[in-house]
Amino acid sequence: MNGRERVMTALARCKPDRVPVNYAANPGIDGRLKAHFGLSGDDDEGLLQALGVEFRGVGAPYIGPRLHAEVPDRQVCPRYGLRTRWVDHGHGGYWDFCDFPLKDATEEEAIRWPMPSPDDYDYSGIEARCEAYPDFALFVGGAGMGDVLNSSGMVFGVEQVMMAVLTEDPAWQTYVDRRLGIELEVLRRTIEAAKGRIDFVWMGEDLGSQNAPLVGLETYRHIIRPRHEKVLALAKSFGLPVMVHTCGSSSWAYDDFIDMGVAAVDTLQPEAAQMAPAYLKERFGGRLAFHGCISTAGAVSFGTPEVVAEECRKTLEEMMPGGGYCFAPTHALQDNSPTENVVAMYETARKYGVY
């Protein structure tokens, strides 16, 4: 099988010739991996090839005007006005969301908040990018596409969003629906520009903490699910399967995902409640495909290469039977991950991921 066939067989919950592999990483470990393989710092494709990654993303770049002014000591998203500040740690740092400019917004302010037009994206290069990767599985979207809680929390603040969900705050709902409408139209135009070459849609929603759901099931069904179903309906209109990124303890929503027609779930933090690989496989195997399970907060960051290899081998042993598994980190690999641990992770996938 080529990479595209391998991924699509797994997403259909069947057995490919071997487990398909994916990758995501923060800049520090990404640069060290490139150096390890003798690659230049900008050779993203070379690193994907070296790791045996069979997924490629396709998107339309934003070419419109800056809609939100820059702020000193902050990065400001030109499209949606998200603000981040640099937070340093011992291995690098993060641009962390801050200020939350819509925290106390009225409905009128949410209506006036500048947002991009779908016309402000360049769809002209989509077909050529697809043609460049005939043997790989191509997706549109990603972990932040179509999400309700996480993306709105970046401008309202998490606490405000939790209150807005409970009170059905009109300002918050206005922002969520405006943004979702733009994302859906950009998604539609991107898929059309690819002329049948997109393989699946990737969307996201962070639904759990480490120990429990972020919202109750009835709240999910009333507030969030109807918006998720809009993404699924668009994907279905093109005959495309959907994979949903779900952080934390989120398996409580998977029966609803299955009912909605979701094909696969991503992230799968094994240390979170009811997210262990064996539990997921027993409870949902045959009804959902799985993408992830290799913790970025465990052995890959803090163990030895031998411990990493053993944990990855065990995860493969639990998730491979019957097919339907894609090997990937739970989140972006972190900068505190030793290079040799990440190399061991992918070597284990190649060695033990064969059916």
The token pair at 105 is 């917004």
pLDDT digits 0-9 by tens, 279-303? 999 999 999 999 999 999 999 999 9
Q: How far is CA 314 from CA 77, 301, 308, 348, 349, in A?
A: 41, 17, 10, 10, 11
According to CATH, what is the number of the domain 3-64+109-352? 3.20.20.210
pLDDT at 288: 98
pLDDT at 91: 84
Beta bridge pairs of residue 201 = 140, 242
pLDDT at 89: 87
Separation of first and last alpha carbons in the chain: 12
The whole-chain average pLDDT of the chain stands at 97
pLDDT at 92: 83
pLDDT digits 0-9 by tens, 3-24? 999 999 999 999 999 999 999 9
Beta bridge pairs of residue 89 = 92
Three-class SS of the chain: CCHHHHHHHHHCCCCCCECCECCCECHHHHHHHHHHCCCCCCCHHHHHHHHCCCEEECCCCECCCCCCCCCCCCEECCCCCCEEEEEEECCEEEEEECCCCCCCCCHHHHHHCCCCCHHHECCCCHHHHHHHCCCCEEEEECCCCCCCHHHHHHHHCHHHHHHHHHHCCHHHHHHHHHHHHHHHHHHHHHHHHHCCCCCEEEEECCCECCCCECCCHHHHHHHHHHHHHHHHHHHHHCCCCEEEEECCCCHHHHHHHHHHCCCEEEECCCCCCCCCHHHHHHHHECCEEEEEEECCCCHHHHCCHHHHHHHHHHHHHHHCCCCCEEEEECCCECCCCCHHHHHHHHHHHHHHCEC
Whole-structure pTM value: 0.97
- What percentage of the chain carries pLDDT values higher than 90? 98
pLDDT over 90 (residue 90): no
Average pLDDT estimate for 40-56:
98
pLDDT over 90 (residue 139): yes
pLDDT digits 0-9 by tens, 194-252? 999 999 999 999 999 999 999 999 999 999 999 999 999 999 999 999 999 999 999 99
The count of C-alpha atoms lying within 13 angstroms of the C-alpha of 305, restricted to the half-sphere facing its C-beta, is 10
- The identity of residue 113, as a single letter, is W
What distance in Å separates the CA atoms of residue 240 and residue 14, rounded to the nearest whole number? 17
pLDDT at 115: 98
Q: Where are the domains of the chain?
A: 3-64+109-352
Confidence of residue 190 (pLDDT cuts 50, 70, 90): very high
Edge-to-edge, what's the strand order for the sheet holding 83-89?
A: 75-76, 83-89, 92-97
pLDDT at 307: 98
Confidence of residue 184 (pLDDT cuts 50, 70, 90): very high
pLDDT at 233: 98
Q: Pick the closest to residue 92 from 332, 282, 348, 269 (CA basis).
A: 332
Average pLDDT estimate for 10-39:
97
Q: Whats the size of the chain, residue-wise?
A: 355
